[in-house]
Structure 1
Amino acid sequence: MTDSTRSLPRGPGPAPRGPRRGLRRVLALLGAAAALAVAALLPATPASAHATVVGTNPKAGSVIPTAPAQVTVEFSEPVSMVSEKIRVIGPDGKRHDAEDPRTEGSRVTIPMRPDAPNGTYLVSYRIISADSHPVPGGFTYSVGAPSANPPKLTDAAAEVDPWVRGAVSLSKFAGYAGLVLVVGATLVLGLLWPQRLDRRSPTRLAWWGLGTVAFATVLALVVQAPYRSGRGLFSVSAADLQQVLANEFGTGHLIRLGVIAAVAFLLPPILGGRATKVDAIPAVVLAIIGMGTWPISGHAAASVLPYVSVIADSFHVAGAAIWIGGLVMLFGYLLRQANEVELGAILPIWSRWAMLAVAAVVLAGTVQGLLEVSSLDGLFGTAYGQLLLVKIVLFLLVVGAATYARRLVDEAGTAAAPRRLRQVVLAEVVGTVLVLGVSSVLVQTAPARSATAEGELGAGLPFSGTAVTSLFTLQVELSPARPGPNDLHLYAYTADGQAKNVIEWKATATLPSAGVEEVAIPMVKLTDNHASGQFSPPTAGQWRMKFTARTSDIDEATVTVTVPVS
């Protein structure tokens, strides 16, 4: 520990102004701002799946002549399975997956039973993406011909229980808030606290912060089990908890609990102002390890450059904890209790700390933002990007307040502290707490890179769909389902999956939402049941396509299919 605090003047100053009352005000401020931020943001941004499906075999919505030996689903990032949440339901309502599925990086392979009847099959899944968030969903394919009443997607794609979602966000915010309190109190008490001032109240704040981080860590481990499995908050099994502890998320949080336990033994001499360099070195090492547990169990772990993201996010978390924690200590204690001479020694040191912390936050945040957003569409067109913009605006306002506070100190000296300086620091505390609230929601929102990819893949992949009439089953394929030239293919099948002879094909398309009138699409018959044509939609939208197939001199049927083009 340096001797800077021991050399601080011990001259007369104002009597302490109710440290307990100051502590209560700080805690009340934190709680109120947290409730406001979470209440305002959480309902609008539910937790989203962060891995996206990039391909399936058989293709979603397709009709294939024979049953496959296995079904594969390819995701945009490595995934892990949730027990009993990957299954294939056949047209008879029974499961037709033969054994436990396998995961190899980003691919899930589901072996199939050989006795598969013709009809529509539902593949449902719930897996965990690399950033610990659940990805529910499903798709259908048909063997021979589609079923009249295909199976429906149920529990695998169910929304996360609202209580579980709230508990997850609470664990995130509580973890950040506790980290801020323990880091700020420890640094100020260890390096900047005047000897004449009572340490009891800020020491309690540090212990409260450490306890809050421990509580948030345990809560995160517990609620991750129902979050993964899709069950209710109080429907957690031992197997669910074992799955949580067995992956990177559980490992990171167990490491954090170990760091908390070790820090608890090192804190007393630091908080009491008796620490030496020997005491400080292990505390700094543990702090570095602890900071790294936040990114390894979040978005950074699934980044396109995970090592860069983890390092950047660690600096981001550390810089924010030092800056916001110092502001809380400054507003809650030092500006109320320290005299002008003491503040004259403390504030310049704190100002340098704050500048370094803000620089770390800005630099690390820029790196992480570029990796997670990567495009203007991602910044302005996704929930993640919009939340990031809100966070940036709040951050700039806080930096503006901090710049004004430093100018007050430089120009007016510490005599401004009891008045305008305290008000400006209060504004900084409010702003930074709101930033924490936004951050706690941001880490539960799909990164822009994933959301953008999901939109592009979901709408831009070749369209494949089926329609059933009394005469035939029609399979429709449009590629690449984007504005401009597209290949259109039509296939007709009988009820038992055999090729259906079609004498004449007709096709038209219209886009009512954009006022596009019905246009004819010339079709060329390639085989008895297969026709092809060229369709060039001028704009994106939900195109309404009408197909007529004449199977005899007197028999024909017409179907309408809505095809998304983007």
Structure 2
Amino acid sequence: MAGMTVAPRRWIARLAAAAGLLVTVVALLIAPATPASAHAVLSSSSPAASSVVPSGPAEVVLTFSESVRKVPDKIRVIAPDGARADRGEPSFEGAVVTIPVDPAGQRGTYLVTFRVISADSHPVSGAFTYSVGAPSTPPVDSGNDSRADPVVETAVKVARFLGYAGLVLLVGPALVLAALWPRRLSRRGPTRLAWVGLGLVAVATLADLWLQVPYTAGGGLFEVTGEGFGSVFGSAFGAAHLVRLGLLAASAFLLRPLLARPAGRTDAIILAVLGVAALLTWPLAGHPAASPAPAVSVVVDAVHLGSMAVWLGGLLMLAVFLLRQADERELGAILPIWSRWAALAVSALLLAGTVQALIEVATPDALFSTTYGRLLLAKIALFAIVIAVAAYSRQLVRRRTAAQRPAPVRRAVLVELAVTVVVLGLSATLVQTTPARTAVAGPSGAEAGLFSTTLTSSLFTLQVELDPAQRGNNSVHLYAYTKDNQPQPVAEWRATAALPSAGIEPIELPLLPLTDNHSYGDVSLPAAGDWQLKITVRTSDIDQATVTATVPIR
């Protein structure tokens, strides 16, 4: 190897990079095709939620708004006595999930719990009840905890942030060393920074693959299984991350000579192609690939991410190296070029961000009423600060005084870097947040609008269900039980609903007894807020008690 000339080495690097690109293309071609969707919503079920059916069904059918994928052993039907009523594995056909159940099961209330994966790789969970013959005390599915582990959720956000940070550390040094670096200066510092960036992106990608297993299944950080990994690797999310790892490995062959010396034109073109392909893996594994316009969203998000990496990476190189080490003549040549690059990157960021926001937010109301919208507003506010500082820096460069007095420029660059790091953190949180366009349509399962709570008094226990817990018409179901969870016969039901914060006085709820312990009513709630639901239950000629529930109405 010692006698190998530079040219053969470059050809080997080019062949390795081309092989990596070929593997990427093949992987993209064989990756599972997934129709456009995001954070699927449970749109209907059979039997319907809170319904009472005369006899036990042979199957429970869940219909989601979009196609979903299976999470092993996370769809269950629990009988009134707490035993499993489902029989065999559920079948998945696009947006429809069919769960076989025992039709000869006991009478009473059944609990259906589910956790599935939407097309944008995020888990969707929920639960509802239905009753056979007559309602009873709802069972509890103690063996199917679908709540997300907070440690895993935090780790996922940290991994995403490290991936973004690594991209910045990789792109900035590579770009500046290839086009702006003075020949007299040592390349050692930027080279180390670039390799750290490459390592961070690789580690973050591996962490994403690992964390996706407990994140989708609802387990702890180390609760991973071979079946879980198989499910992740067989998804579009897994394919995109494996492709990214392959592209990183291929890029490393060309990155080494580029970091050591100015690269040739062919090597730079191949490396640029690999870089663009790698950028596409981020949107292909997240919300953009499942948006209403996936092709547009993927391209726009890749442009947004690439522009961020160029801008922030270049700022980092200026602050850490060039403004410290370059002389006046060199800065006089470098700063005007960088200023044009930064203006181009910022313009691309603004355009791509605007398009993506229009797609993901959809309506002005969603911008203010959803977590995604509020995070986006915070990101926009911080970005405006960065733009103002960047404009100040550009004015310094235009006055041609920055080369003689680089200190003001360096201070401005440091402010840009500090604020943009916070923006990166918000971006890492945004990619894990339900898009506003989906959030306003209503979440899935039990969160889709069914409010349920249990109230206690000295005489009885009362289960209250209100559906869909939104402004407008709502149905109310009341179930009374004794202290030992037996149906409690009720002589008289009375109920009112009030919204004191909006000055709405108590509204009388007309109630129709369906059984001895079950009453039903309809009520129109005209405004959003925390409604006070007051229910009086008379169990005999002289015994009665009143309980109160606070019901959040969207």
Q: Same fold (TM over 0.5)?
A: yes
Q: Is the 8 A contact 2:463 2:480 kept in 1?
A: yes
Query: Match of 1:137?
Result: 126
Residue 156 (structure 1) aligns with: 145
Q: Which of 218, 221, 226 is the aligned partner of 2:214?
A: 226
Q: Secondary structure at the match of 1:147?
A: coil
Partner of 2:417: 429
| 333, 345, 348: which one aligns with 2:333 | 345
Equivalent residue for 1:419? 407
For 1:382, the aligned partner's letter is: T
Give the match for residue 258 of structure 1.
Answer: 246
Q: Deviations over 1:316-355 (max 9, x none)?
A: 1111011111111111111111111111111111111111
* 1: CA distance, partners of 2:504 / 2:461: 28
How far apart in 1 are the matches of 2:63 and 2:174? 47
Task: Name the counterpart of 1:243.
Answer: 231
Deviation at 1:457, TM superposition (A): 9.2
Helix, strand or coil at the partner of 1:157: coil
Specify the SS of the correspondent of 1:94: coil
User: Are the equivalent residues in 2 in contact too, given 1:509–1:545 (CA < 8 A)?
Assistant: yes
8 Å CA contact retained: 1:126, 1:134: yes
Shift of 1:534: 6.6
Q: What is the rounded CA distance, in whole Å, between the counterparts of 1:365 and 1:68 in structure 2?
A: 49
- Assess, with a 3 A threshold, how the Cα gap between structure 1 residues 520 and 221 changes in structure 2: closer, same or farther: closer
Q: Secondary structure at the match of 2:426?
A: helix
Provide the rounded CA distance (Å) in 2 between the counterparts of 1:91 and 1:524. 24
For residues 350 and 77 of structure 1, the distance between their equivalents in structure 2, rounded to whole angstroms, comes to 45
1:111 aligns with 2:66: no
Contact 1:161 1:231 in 2 (8 A): no
CA distance in 2, matches of 1:128, 1:341: 57
Rounded Cα–Cα distance in structure 2 between residues aligned with 1:561 and 1:311: 52
Instruction: Give unmatched runs, 5+ long, in structure 1.
Output: 1-48, 494-499
Match of 1:127 in 2: 116
- The alignment-based identity, stated in percent, is 50
- 2:285 paired with 1:334: no
Structure 1 segment 46-125 matched on structure 2, within 5 A: 50-125=39-114
Deviation at 1:114, TM superposition (A): 2.5
Give me the whole-angstrom Cα distance separating, in 2, the residues matched to 1:271 and 1:450.
44
CA distance in 2, matches of 1:94, 1:488: 28
Q: What does residue 175 of structure 1 align with? A: 163
Q: Does residue 310 of the first structure (1) align with residue 310 of the second (2)?
A: no
Instruction: Work out whether residues 501 and 529 of structure 1, in 8 Å CA contact, stay in contact via their aligned partners in 2.
Output: yes
Question: SS where residue 117 of structure 2 aligns?
Answer: strand
Q: Which residue of 1 aligns with 2:205?
A: 217
Closer/same/farther in 2, CA of residues 416 and 50 from structure 1, 3 Å limit: farther
Shift of 1:545: 5.7
- Residue ranges of structure 2 left out of the alignment (5+ in a row): 1-37, 482-487
1:269 equivalent in alignment to 2:257: yes
Greater mean deviation of Cα atoms: 420-429 or 483-492: 483-492
Amino acid aligned to 2:234:
A
> 2:442 — aligned with what?
454
| 1:343-396 Cα distance to aligned partner (Å, 9 max, x none) | 111111111111111111111111111111122332222222121111111111
Shift of 1:308: 1.4
Find the residue that maps to 2:441 and give its secondary structure. Answer: helix
After superposing the two structures, state which structure 1 stretch, 438-447 or 255-264, moved more.
438-447
C-alpha separation in 2, matches of 1:455 and 1:85: 18
Q: Secondary structure at the match of 1:150?
A: coil
Q: Distance in 2 between matches of 1:545 and 1:559?
A: 7
Distance 1:537 1:195 in 2: 72
Quick one: which amino acid aligns to residue 217 of structure 2? S
Cα distance between partner residues in 1 of 2:532 and 2:137: 24
Q: Distance in 2 between matches of 1:480 and 1:234?
A: 37
Between the aligned partners of 2:114 and 2:447, the Cα distance in structure 1 is 20
Matched position secondary structure for 2:423: helix
Compared with structure 1, are the counterparts of its residues 466 and 190 closer, same or farther at alpha carbon in structure 2 (3 Å cutoff)?
closer
Measure the CA separation in 1 of the matches of 2:447 and 2:133. 26
Deviation at 1:294, TM superposition (A): 0.3
> What are the Cα deviations for residues 453-485 of structure 1, in whole angstroms up to 9, with x where unaligned?
22699788688999999xx99999978765556
Is 1:369 the equivalent of 2:357?
A: yes
Change (3 A) 1:351 1:175: same
Measure, in 2, the Cα distance between the counterparts of 1:246 and 1:287.
Answer: 24
2:344 to 342, 353, 356: 356
Of structures 1 and 2, the one scoring higher in RCO (CA 8 A, sep 6+) is 1
When the two chains are superposed, the root-mean-square deviation of aligned CA atoms in Å is 3.8
Q: Which AA in structure 1 matches 2:334?
A: I
Give yes or no for contact 2:535–2:547 (8 Å, CA) kept in 1. Answer: yes
Deviation of 1:539 (Å): 3.4
Distance 1:138 1:228 in 2: 16
- Rounded to whole Å, the distance in 2 between the matches of 1:203 and 1:487 is 65
Amino acid in the other structure paired with 1:229: A
Matches within 5 A, 1:481-520: 483=471, 507-511=494-498, 513-514=500-501, 516-520=504-508
CA contact (8 A) 2:165 2:197 kept: yes
One-letter amino acid of the structure 2 residue matched with residue 427 of structure 1: V
- Contact preservation (8 Å) 2:128, 2:445: no
Deviates more, 1:353-362 or 1:232-241: 232-241
Alpha-carbon offset, residue 263 of structure 1 = 0.2
Alignment counterpart, residue 402 of structure 1, candidates 387, 390, 415: 390
Deviation at 1:122, TM superposition (A): 1.3
Structure 1 residue 72, shift from structure 2 partner: 2.1
Distance apart, 1:413 and its partner CA: 2.6
TM-score normalised by length of structure 2 = 0.81
Q: Would the alpha carbon gap of residues 509 and 328 (structure 1) be closer, same or farther in structure 2, given more than 3 Å must change?
A: same
The Cα offsets for residues 130-159 of structure 1, whole Å up to 9 and x where unpaired, read as 221222322221111222362346533323
Cα distance in structure 1, aligned partners of 2:104 and 2:548: 32
Residues paired across the two proteins, number:
510
C-alpha contact (below 8 Å) 2:497/2:509 kept by paired residues? no
Cα separation, partners in 2 of 1:300 and 1:89, compared to 1, 3 Å: same
The separation in 2 between residues aligned to 1:320 and 1:559, in whole angstroms, is 59
- Whole-Å separation in 2 of the counterparts to 1:556 and 1:66: 35
CA-to-partner distance for each residue in 1:146-204, whole Å, 9 max, x for gaps? 22362346533323241x22321221011111111111111110111111111111111
* CA-CA distance at 1:513 after TM superposition: 4.0
Residues 1:560 and 1:144: Cα distance change in structure 2 (over 3 Å)? farther
Decide whether the 8 Å contact of 1:505 with 1:523 is kept in 2: no
Contact kept, 8 Å, 1:382 with 1:452, in 2: the verdict is yes
For the Cα contact (< 8 Å) 1:146–1:473, is it kept in 2?
no
CA–CA separation in structure 2 for the residues paired with 1:475 and 1:549 = 15
